[in-house]
Structure formats: C-alpha cells, structure tokens
Chain A
Amino acid sequence: MSARYFGAAVQRLEDPRLLAGNGRYVDDIALPGMLHAAFHRAQVAHGRIRDLDAADARTMPGVAAVYVMADFAAIAEGPMPPMAPHPLLKTPLTYHPLAVEEVHHVGEAIAMVLADTRQQAEDAANAIQVDIEDLPAVAHATAALADGAPHVHSGRDSNLVGTLRGGFGDAGAVFAKADHALSETFAIHRGGCHSMECRGVIAAPDPLAEELTVYTSSQSPYMVRRHLAQYLKRDESSLRVIAPDVGGGFGPKANVYPEEFAVALAAMMIGRPVKWIEDRSEHFVATTQQRDQLWTLDVAFTGHGRMLAVRGRCIHDNGAYAPYGLILPATALASFPGPYALEALDIAIDVVLTNLVPTTPVRGAARPCTAFVLERLADAIARHLDLPREEVRRRSFITADQMPYTTGMKARDGSPISYDSGDYTKALDLALAKIDAAGFAQRKAQAAARGKLLGFGIASCVEDTGLAPFEGATVRVTPAGKVVISTGAASQGQGHRTMLAQIAADALGVDIGNISVEAADTGKFPLGISTVGSRIAVTAGSSVELAAQQVRKKALEAASFMLEAAESDLEIERGVVRVVGVPGMQVSLGDIARALSGSAGLLLPGHLEPDLAATAYFESNALTFAYGSNACEVEIDPATGDARVSRYVVAHDCGCLINPLVVDGQILGGVVHGIGNALYERMVYDEAGQPLSTNYGEYLLPLAPEMPDIEMHHLETPSPRNPIGVKGAGEGGTIPAAACVISAIQDALGPGAPFIAEHPVSPERITQWLDAIS
C-alpha cells in the first residue's frame, strides 16, 4: 500500500462548495414555520431585576411570544449543568438560559422575543422594559481581590473562585543556590474569538416523534446534546444536534451557551422551529473572551544563562461565570515549563470573578500567556547577563536526548506529563538560519538609514496536542463503491474532511474523490467530544486509520472467498481488489460491499459479518507535543510609534504532515492571530464594567496590509503515540507569536528602553517608551 495522499498537498474537498457560495451555515437554513428570536440583554454589569414589562412588546407586529426564565418552568429550571466540573468549583458558576433575579455582566440575556422576522423580534426586544437596581460591579481582576471589593455575585461572599497550584522540585532551594534571580510582572491581554461567523442556533421540535433537532454553530455539538439532554431530563436519543458549516471557532464556540438552551426551550414551548443568529454587537458582549492575566514571577538562573527555576503567582480574570470550568487557567498552569528543563517550578493561579463576559479558551487557550511569560523571562535573563537571547534558550532547553521527558507537571487527568519527541534546539537554529539572523545588523542599519527602528525577536514553545479521550470514526464502503467516513469531530475550517479522506484513501486504495465525510451530526455518529486543543488529527485521524485498515482487511477476506484466491495473492488498487498477476480476476470494493449488504436467502461470503464497514475509537491516552521556534523582525516608525512586522519565520514540528497545505494554513492563521494579540486586539471596559470596544472600529483585528508574508519550515519528528505519527497543528502558530513580536519591539527600542512585559502594545505605548529613552 503506497501513501498516495498522506503527506501530499491535496486541495481541499471542502473548497468547491464553499467557493461557489454553497456553504450551509446555520443562518442559511430556513425551516417551514420558523420564528426568529432576539434577546433583551442586560445593560448594566451588575444589577437586580426588579420588574420586567413586556406588555408593549407582546402586541407589536409579528410577535409570537415573549419569554423570561419563569415561562420555561414547565419543562426546565435552574442553572445549566457545568461542562467541566472542578473541585474548586464547589457550587457551579453557570448561567441560567435566561437570567433570574440578578445579572452579572453587560450582555447577559434576560428575555427573548419570537417573531416572524428578525427585525420584528429586535423591535420588540427593544420595547421590553426592565427595571434593574444597579449593584456595584467589579471590572478588573485585581480590583476583585481588593479588600472591600463588591461581590460579583451577591450570593457569593468571595470573588476568588480558588487557587490552582502546580510545580515540582524545591523552588526555595534552587533560588537559594542560584547565581542570579530576577523578578518581573506581566500584564497579558488577549481579546475575543471573532470568528467571522457569529454564533447561531436553530431548534426544531418534531411533536410527532417527540424529537428536537438543534443546528448550532459549535465546536462541540455532542457536548450541547449531552448537557441539553441532562437539563431537559430527556434521553440523548430524542435530541439530534448538528453543527453544519461553521464559520470559524477559535475556542469560544466550544462552550455550551445559554442561548442554545433558551432557543431550544422556546422552540419546545411554542412548538415551532426557532432561529437565533448572534449579531456582531452581541458577539462582543455574549460570546466568551480571554482578556487578562497578571503575572508576578521570579526566575532563577546560572551565570551562564541557564534557566533553573520559576516561581510566582497569576491573577486570572474568569469573568462572571465559569461555563467551561477552570480549563483556561488550568491550561496556563499545565503549559509550564514550556521547552525549558527547569529544576523547580512553583506556580499559583488565583481564579477571580469579575462582572465581565466569562473567559474561556481562545486559540491557544492560555498557552500563549505561559509562553509569553517564559519567553520574556528568557529575554530578561539575556538582557541581565548581556548574552544573545538564543544562547539562553540553547542553554536552558530540554535536549533531544532527554526525550521522552517527564516535566514534573500533571495532565488534566492527573497523569504525569511527558514530552514525547523533538529537538527544540534544532527548531531554533532552523528559524535563525532561515531568517538570516547573521544578516540582521545590516538590515537594521538599512532601516536606520530610512529613519526606522528595526528589531529582531525570537520565541519558542511547546504545545500539548491530541487531548484524550477520543474522536471516533466509522469507515464504510457503499454498494456504489463510495467510501463514507462518519465522525463526531466537528470542523470550523480546519480541513478535517480532506485530512481524514487522505488517510482512508491510502488505507483502502481508493481515489480521494470517491470519499465523502459526514461529521458533527449526532444523528450520524453516536459519540463525540469537542474540537479543542489541536486534537482532531491525532484522535479522529488515528481512528480513521484504524477503521480503514479493518475495512481493508475485511474486503480482502471477502474477496478471497469471492475470487477463490488466497488473501496473500490479492491487492487493492483504485477501488478494485485484484489477484496479482491474473488479469480479469478482480472484484470491486463496491461489489464486495453489495455482497456484504446481503440478499434474501443467500449467505454472506465466508460467513463474514454484514457491512463492509468498521468503527474505531483510537484512545489518545497520552498527549503528544508539537513545538517550534519563531523569529521575526519588527520595524518601528519612531515618529508615530507604528510597529509593523516586516518578516516572520516559523520553524515548527507537528510530527508527520498529513497535508502540508492545510498545516501551513493552520500555522499562518495562528501566527496572525498572535500578531493581533501583540499589537491590536484589546477588549476595553470602563470602571462600571461597560464594554467600550464593541465594534471593529474600536476593536482592531489584523488586516491584510499590515500582515507580513510568513515563511514556514517544518521538522517532522513522528509522534510515537499514535498510529499515524502526527501531532496537532491548530495552535502552534499562535502560542509563541505575541512573545516573538514583543521580543522584536524590545530589541528595536534598544537597551535604554524599559523591559516590555505586556501586550497588546499600541503605537501610543511605543511612543511613551521612546520618549522615556530620549
């Protein structure tokens, strides 16, 4: 069996439909009798609902119903089930589908209107009168911890959810013996999701079958089914959840949202399909974000620049609820020690509530935050010792001969984290060579001649990928000779269909054009988890490989009976099983599938089980670790403070590449997201918790003219932890990017500038630093 497709830059199967405008996103679905929903949302960050008057709204044109939470009492009540319980969350911090008694951030849904058109629903939602008693709000994580701070939830007497702790070794002892130590504080801000498609939900009840079908723009349709079934006290078999084409996810669409529940409840109440499409202004106030982490860290190191230990504390802004448990701060913690062979680590993360939109993972989750502090500390050591930044890394990295390397940290399930494979120094050296680090001084001089400040930055990272436990797959050959892959793995643009089809095509010896993939529909495949943490290639990819190999084996067994030939004499090529060296002695996979589909009165060939199909759930029982180093150049205009990334080189290792086109795309997009975090994206709130950046004039996303061409170089160290040798690629671009850009800005500003320990950095901020130097 030759690998015709695995490793090849195959054009995506997804493309033709999407390019022709034939995508089917939630808002493209229209069902007979469908009503449109709009929400009335909280205008204050914290308040007690005294009264709600919807009398006018109910009489407005087209309005079919107005609901508050109490209206759903006959079918459901109480807060939503927690997605990710954690021992520190003694009482769950989840939303009600519609707010009850108290609202805890601007944008929390209080009431919903159903009407014939979206416009009518919005008109009526605006006409609802809500009398809210203002309560004091907390708009920043540090303020939330202050003595006498208002309570984010009136019913909770502390804004501190709890403190996550992790580490290894004896940090005190290492610091005591170390040649040097430094302390730094970091203020990291990451913005929101900003998938170009906002969220959207349709719920369609079938009263005859007592079934409810939910279409949702989600990374986690199976989690929506699980939690909605639990909430509605229904069996999962009476709920079908489908994620159709999804216009980007980037993390926040992995959550189960109150609007998904409210739309389902409303549809059940009124007995008609109900659609809600989030608009962009709602996305800013109702879709989870990432925002602030404030770190205070000490680093111990030798006189040669070897990083020995890190200790300190983080204050993590969790927002008003914890819909996704403590996954985000826990990921920050689990991302230590990055690529560094530390002797000791001692980290505490205070998870703090604020009256702001909840925070949950955004591309990279908190891995970019941990990478930022570690990479800035590495740069700080270099600055302190007057060493090249790459030397500190070379002297501190875990080395190839230490693999597999047990870091001392624990995974989510409590098992020890062990890096599987890789050569971190090699990736760094590759990035430095490809960007021509040696020629930088000359380029800097040329920029200076043009009146510009050119800076050189580097950053490295390790990324845990392939999160347990599984995404399964069924591979089935139909009597027409088509191969259908079914999987629970949801896609938001990653090209999973193509990637999975490549794997199956090689295993079965068929043309990729004969393969179709159905995914993210609970009616088509029984189980699924979630598309998060760069896990689908490892999990679903491996499952497709295992299932397709089983189908191959079964096809050969059946053909052996049908052709009366030994299996060892058979080969599969282009969808046909042939007896080697006997022209004409052949049977197609479609014919075998037809035979195994059975006919009345005939036994199946070789008494095989019916169906030319197999299902596999590869158990991803240990994380696999991608890694890489980035190098970039940033040009600063000292007159305006404008910082422009002029060159960017990525050296990345995500194991065997299934499709280099797709992997490059994942990394490119990820780097640009990270550049956005470094330079542009800031979600701003005032002291009362009012969001001040709720459109794309105020909240800046990376645009084409400001982005560089990014150069990509792959190492391919196969992972020993799955049958196809892959590691995840979805977030490796984002994780080091902000650190890399800030490293370059620091370098551009020169040795007199203050140490940069924050992002995003605006032109105004850069100008302040330049003024401070002069």
Chain B
Amino acid sequence: MSDRRRITINVNGTLRNAEVETRVHLADFLRQSLGLTGTHLGCEHGVCGACTIIVNGSAVRSCLMLAVQADGASVETVESLGTSKALSALQQAFSRHHALQCGFCTPGMLMSLEAFLRNNPHANAAEIREAISGNICRCTGYQGIVNAALAAAAEHRGAA
C-alpha cells in the first residue's frame, strides 16, 4: 500500500512533478495533490462521466485511470478552458442555453464536448447526444447542453 512512484505530468500546460501512491487514481491526484477541484467524482466506476478530462487529446474518465498511468502524459482539465471572468465560447454557450443547474456534472460535460467538438466541428444534435452519452446529468434533461454545444460549434465554424 505504500508503493509510491515519482511521476511527471503536463497539466494544463504546466509540468507537475509529484510522488504518488500507485493506487491513487488520476482524479484524486488532480483534486487532492494539485488542488484542481474542478474535476468532480460522481460514481467512481466510470459511468457518470463527471470526472472526464482530456489526456493526450482524448476524453478520459479520470476515476478509471491511475495517476501513475498518466506519467509523461499531457492532461487538460476544466481549469484550462476559461476563467470565470473570461469564459471560453463553449462555457459561454452553456450559460446562454442554461446547460447547467447544480454544476456538478458540468466540468465533465465540458471536457467531453471540448474533446468531441475539436474533431467534429460539424456535429449535429444526434451526434452531440451520442458524444455525451457517457455523461450523466440529473438536472437539465440534456437539452440545454445539446443546444449549447450546437451553438458553440456554429460559432467556432463562423470564426474559423
């Protein structure tokens, strides 16, 4: 249980060096060791998606990945998107379309969509619904989230 290893992870553009217990999952490492509490834990068995982050460009459930597995990887969390005073286009669209209520699933939703929309800027509503099929929201009924993603994608295409 005291098996510890040293890891280096690029988190939101900054190299972070730490010694971690091998059993600690990536979400706990981000939250407890790095203080990045924007990543939330909703089920810890890989279904609810609240802990979704981007690892080497792909959306990943950080509760299903050990911190040591992320050694050498590039990690993006919700904290990389925008600040409360300068939200990203997707975050702004979430607010305009009331895509969040309690906000607990929101970081995971944002990161799933961030990863998806980078590769699928022309996605339609059905594809967006499929893209967030691994993110559970109990508050919104998903509709605002889908509308926000469509709007952000359209805005991005317009700007590109």
A contact set with B: CB distance below 8 Å: 11-12, 14-25, 27-28, 61, 119, 123, 194-198, 245-250, 279-280, 492-495, 661-662, 664-665, 668-673, 695-697, 701-705, 707, 709-710
Contacts and interface: CB of A to CB of B under 8 A. Distances in A.
B43 interface: yes
Nearest to A193: B138
A15 B136 contact: no
Nearest to A495: B101
B103 A247 contact: yes
B95 A12 contact: yes
Contacts of A21: 36-39, 77-79, 81, 107
A7 B50 CA distance: 32
Contacts of A696: 43, 45, 47-48, 136
Interface of B: 1-2, 21, 23-24, 31, 36-45, 47-48, 50, 77-79, 81-85, 87, 91, 94-96, 98, 100-107, 110, 125-126, 128-130, 132-133, 135-146
Contact of A668 (B83, B94, B143): B143
Contacts of A673: 138
A123 B101 contact: no
Nearest to B35: A30
Nearest to A674: B141
Contacts of B138: 194-196, 248, 250, 669, 673, 701
A710 B141 contact: yes
Contacts of B132: 704
Nearest to A699: B47
A707 B95 CA distance: 21
A703 B134 CA distance: 8
Given A19-B81, A20-B38, 10 more contacts: A15-B103, A19-B87, A28-B31, A196-B102, A198-B42, A248-B102, A669-B141, A695-B47, A696-B136, A704-B137
Given A246-B102, A705-B130, A665 B139 contact: yes
A23 B103 contact: yes
Given A119-B23, A493-B103, A665 B140 contact: yes
A672 B41 contact: no
Of all A-B residue pairs in the complex, the 4 with the closest CB atoms, nearest first, are A21-B38, A493-B102, A247-B104, A18-B103
A280 B44 contact: yes
Contacts of B141: 668-672, 702, 707, 710
A196 B101 contact: no
A18 B143 contact: no
Contacts of B146: 704, 709
B40 A247 contact: yes
Contact of A18 (B82, B106, B125): B106
A428 B31 CA distance: 49
Contacts of B125: 709
Contact of A23 (B45, B96, B104, B129): B104
A693 to B, nearest CB: 13
Contact of A248 (B36, B84, B139): B139
Nearest to A119: B23
Contact of A697 (B47, B85, B137, B145): B47
Nearest to B41: A27
B136 A22 contact: no
B130 A247 contact: no
Nearest to A250: B138
A194 B47 CA distance: 13
Nearest to A712: B143
Contacts of B135: 704
8 contacts: A15-B100, A16-B95, A18-B100, A247-B42, A279-B44, A280-B43, A668-B141, A697-B45
A25 B40 contact: yes
Contact of A19 (B42, B91, B130): B91
B13 to A, nearest CB: 15
A20 B83 contact: yes
Contacts of A16: 84-85, 87, 95
Contacts of A22: 38, 84
B137 A28 contact: no
A670 B101 CA distance: 12
Nearest to B108: A196
B62 to A, nearest CB: 13
B145 A15 contact: no
Nearest to A670: B141
Given A21-B79, A493-B101, A493-B103, A695 B43 contact: yes
**Most A CB atoms within 10 A — which of B47, B129, B138?**
B138
B136 A701 contact: yes
A157 to B, nearest CB: 40
Contacts of A671: 141
Contact of B106 (A19, A194, A697, A705): A19
Contacts of B31: 27-28
A464 B135 CA distance: 33
A706 to B, nearest CB: 9
Contacts of B96: 11
B103 A245 contact: yes
Nearest to A709: B143
A23 B23 CA distance: 27
A685 B43 CA distance: 20
A17 B102 CA distance: 11
Contacts of B87: 16, 19-20
A248 B145 CA distance: 17
Nearest to A9: B98
Given A25-B104, A195-B138, A17 B84 contact: yes
B101 A695 contact: no
A15 B95 contact: yes
A20 B91 contact: yes
Given A196-B50, A493-B103, A673-B138, A12 B98 contact: yes
B38 A494 contact: no
**Most B CB atoms within 10 A — which of A24, A669, A704, A707?**
A704
A20 B84 contact: yes
Nearest to B125: A709
Contacts of B44: 279-280
Nearest to B24: A119
Contacts of A15: 94-95, 100, 103
B154 to A, nearest CB: 17
Contacts of A197: 40, 42, 102, 104
**Most A CB atoms within 10 A — which of B21, B41, B139?**
B139
Nearest to B38: A21
Contacts of B100: 15, 18-19, 493
A249 B106 CA distance: 16
B84 A19 contact: yes
Contacts of A672: 141-142
Contacts of A279: 44
B128 to A, nearest CB: 8
A493 B139 contact: yes
Contacts of B42: 196-198, 247, 280
A705 B143 CA distance: 10
